[in-house]
Amino acid sequence: MVCEKCEAKLGKVITPDPWKAGARNTTENGGRKVGENKALTAKKGRFNPYTSKFEICRICRQKVHQVGSHYCQACAYKKGICSMCGKKLIDTKCYRQSST
């Protein structure tokens, strides 16, 4: 879960979504160019498994596999925070947040 500000930093997938409404990688509305090779043009926000340095979660010290994130998805869900910037998204006081 990421906030609206960090949603622009997320990487885009190569293949277009079959569900068009709300998709960021369709050819309508300037989302994607026709004939564009996303494997070549989107190198910045893509996950690279061959790098030697991965970010670690600031809470549990587990490796984070999302580019630009500081918190793993499990900790972000339990705390109700954005996994990239740590901004509080929902109040989890009355929730029973568990990973299982």
What value does the mean pLDDT of the chain take? 77
Residue at 82 is within a domain: yes
Q: Are 43 and 34 in contact (CB under 8 A)?
A: no
pTM: 0.62
Residue at 34 is within a domain: no
Residue at 44 is within a domain: no
The rounded distance, in Å, linking the Cα atoms of 41 and 36 is 8
Q: Are 78 and 90 in contact (CB under 8 A)?
A: no
Query: Amino acid identity, residue 27?
Result: T
Residue at 33 is within a domain: no
Residue at 20 is within a domain: no
Domain span including residue 4? 1-12+55-95
Residue at 27 is within a domain: no
Q: Are 67 and 73 in contact (CB under 8 A)?
A: no
How many separate domains does the chain show? Answer: 1
CA atoms within 13 A on the CB side of 19: 3
Residue at 8 is within a domain: yes
pLDDT tens readout for residues 72-84: 999 999 999 999 9
pLDDT band of residue 57 (cuts 50, 70, 90) is very high
